[in-house]
């Protein structure tokens, strides 16, 4: 279990706000291709498949870097990793600004994805160090809400900039400003509260690194967090980053402008839902898994409506509440990070958080690729292609249920040994057979 953290101070909030600003910039850069896609088609001479590669590459790099990022944060501290992230984000956007060929454009997005991958885990590690456990979920939700401000900035404002100053000037200035913010991070961010000694992981050799990751992965709460993140955030992510507009335009017959407006439902739904979920589970941690379970059941109903609507064309009056509900997957996925924080010592929280964060982005990458393949096979039928979302939802929900029971079993064992546990649990009938924690 993590070490006790003193009460947050105004300095803690200033440090968090600076670090959250890095995350805001990262989300802006990550989602900027959502409105720059048509410009990229003309600039690089791309087809639909090649355009989709930009998103798949970036998300794939992000997912692959999550565990290494957690190790780096535990080893070197959040301030250094966030500074490095800003430099890579800035470099990636500058490269994109001057790129005129497809290979250089891909390299630029790969570099940007690398910088993006370093941000969120670093911010969560700072929150774990500067805020007590009861505030962790709430401050994390504020962080994601700020991230959606970056997402919003990458929609209408970025569209106006691309239509005005143009591609090169817009992305060049964005890259330079981002890299310059590294100076602010270096001056303001501190890895631990004043007077609290910094405890870092000593994992340096490949063997020690492997032990660090294995130790985090062996914790049932970490594994539960992984599957919570896997199950909840991938569907809204896939729609917002890549397949939302094609589904609405080609599958539903809506104008492009209307489709873009509908996608803002994901932005505002997550922005408003995050603090609500964070405050709720901060006060009552026992509600974490019921909220996740309720979201997954609701998501199954939503997808049944979207894919089973008679005639195929879903009315806007139905699409809006469906998208609004799906947007809550982002806030619900934050519960996975709270689990990582609760069940790991502080010096390993970064690694555990990285493990959890892999879940949703692996699911996003798999689903984005599967939808593309199924569209090719099914002749452009989104009803068939989006069944990939349902399949991943069922897989993630089943594995989450398995590790929820095993985490409860670990808590019962800890209670029997007289240990302090983060959430009090009472044995239920379904716990009767779960006497020991399986490592399967």
CATH code, domain carrying 369: 1.20.1250.20
Encoding tokens for residue 240?
A: 């917002």
| CB neighbours of residue 299 within 10 Å | 24
In contact, 33 and 105? CB cutoff 8 Å: no
Is 198 among the domain residues?
A: no
Residue 253's SS3 state is coil
Backbone angles phi, psi at 344, to 5 degrees: -130, 145
Give the residue from 270, 360, 380, 280 showing the smallest Cα distance to 323: 270
Give Cα 382 distance to the centre of its chain. Answer: 25
Residue 291, pLDDT above cutoff 80: yes
Average pLDDT over residues 11-37: 87
166 Ramachandran zone, left/alpha/beta (phi>0; psi -120 to 50): left
The residue range of the domain holding 141 is 10-192+205-422
Rounded CA-CA distance 209/201 in Å is 9
Average pLDDT over residues 24-37: 82
What pLDDT, in 10s, does the model give residues 176-233?
Answer: 999 999 999 999 999 888 777 666 555 556 677 778 888 888 889 999 999 999 999 9
* Confidence at residue 255, expressed as pLDDT on a 0 to 100 scale: 86
Is 108 among the domain residues?
A: yes
Assign 1 a pLDDT band (cuts: 50, 70, 90): very low
Is 412 among the domain residues?
A: yes
The DSSP result for 319-363, as a single string, is HHHHHHHHTTHHHHHHHHHHHHHHHS-GGGHHHHHHHHHHHHHHH
* Confidence at residue 129, expressed as pLDDT on a 0 to 100 scale: 86
Is 222 among the domain residues?
A: yes
| CB neighbours of residue 288 within 10 Å | 23
Residues in the chain, total: 440
Is 262 among the domain residues?
A: yes
Assign 42 a pLDDT band (cuts: 50, 70, 90): confident
* Confidence at residue 19, expressed as pLDDT on a 0 to 100 scale: 95
Is 166 among the domain residues?
A: yes
What pLDDT, in 10s, does the model give residues 69-123?
Answer: 888 888 888 999 999 999 999 999 999 999 989 899 999 999 999 999 999 889 9
Encoding tokens for residue 345?
A: 């010592």
Domain count, the chain: 1
**DSSP for residue 435:** -
Is 435 among the domain residues?
A: no
Is 1 among the domain residues?
A: no
Give Cα 236 distance to the centre of its chain. Answer: 11
Encoding tokens for residue 262?
A: 């509908």
């Amino acid at each position: 279990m993590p070490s006790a953290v003193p009460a947050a101070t105004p300095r803690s909030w200033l440090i968090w706000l600076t670090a959250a600003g890095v995350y805001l910039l990262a989300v802006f850069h990550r989602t900027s291709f959502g409105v720059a896609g048509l410009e990229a088609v003309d600039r690089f001479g791309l087809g639909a498949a090649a355009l989709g590669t930009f998103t798949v590459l970036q998300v794939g790099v992000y997912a692959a870097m999550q565990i290494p990022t957690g190790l780096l944060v535990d080893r070197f501290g959040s301030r250094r990793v966030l500074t490095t992230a800003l430099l890579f984000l800035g470099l990636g956007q500058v490269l994109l600004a001057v790129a005129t060929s497809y290979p250089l454009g891909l390299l630029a997005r790969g570099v940007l994805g690398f910088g993006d991958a370093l941000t969120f885990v670093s911010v969560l590690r700072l929150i774990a160090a500067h805020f007590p456990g009861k505030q962790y979920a709430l401050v994390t939700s504020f962080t994601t809400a700020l991230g959606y401000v970056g997402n919003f900035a990458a929609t209408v404002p970025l569209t106006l900039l691309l239509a005005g100053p143009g591609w090169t000037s817009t992305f060049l200035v964005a890259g330079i400003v981002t890299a310059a913010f590294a100076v602010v991070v270096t001056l303001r961010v501190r890895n631990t509260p004043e007077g609290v000694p910094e405890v870092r992981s000593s994992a340096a050799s490949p063997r020690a690194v492997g032990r660090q990751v294995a130790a985090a992965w062996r914790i049932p709460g970490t594994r539960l967090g992984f599957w919570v993140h896997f199950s909840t955030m991938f569907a809204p992510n896939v729609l917002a980053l890549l397949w939302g507009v094609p589904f609405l335009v080609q599958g539903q017959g809506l104008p492009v402008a209307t489709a873009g407006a509908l996608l803002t439902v994901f932005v505002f739904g997550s922005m408003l839902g995050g603090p609500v979920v964070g405050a709720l589970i901060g006060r009552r941690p026992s509600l974490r898994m019921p909220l996740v379970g309720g979201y997954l059941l609701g998501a199954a109903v939503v997808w049944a409506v979207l894919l089973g609507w008679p005639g195929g064309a879903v009315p806007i009056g139905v699409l809006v509440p469906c998208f609004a509900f799906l947007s809550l997957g982002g806030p619900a996925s934050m519960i996975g990070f709270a689990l990582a924080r609760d069940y790991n010592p502080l010096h390993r929280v970064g690694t555990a958080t990285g493990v959890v964060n892999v879940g949703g982005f692996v699911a996003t990458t798999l689903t984005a690729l599967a939808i593309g393949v199924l569209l090719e096979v099914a002749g452009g039928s989104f009803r068939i292609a989006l069944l990939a979302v349902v399949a991943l939802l069922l897989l993630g929900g089943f594995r989450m249920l398995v590790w929820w029971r095993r985490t409860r079993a670990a808590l019962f064992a800890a209670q029997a040994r007289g240990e302090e546990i983060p959430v009090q649990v009472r044995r239920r009938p379904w716990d009767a057979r779960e006497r020991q924690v399986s490592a399967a």
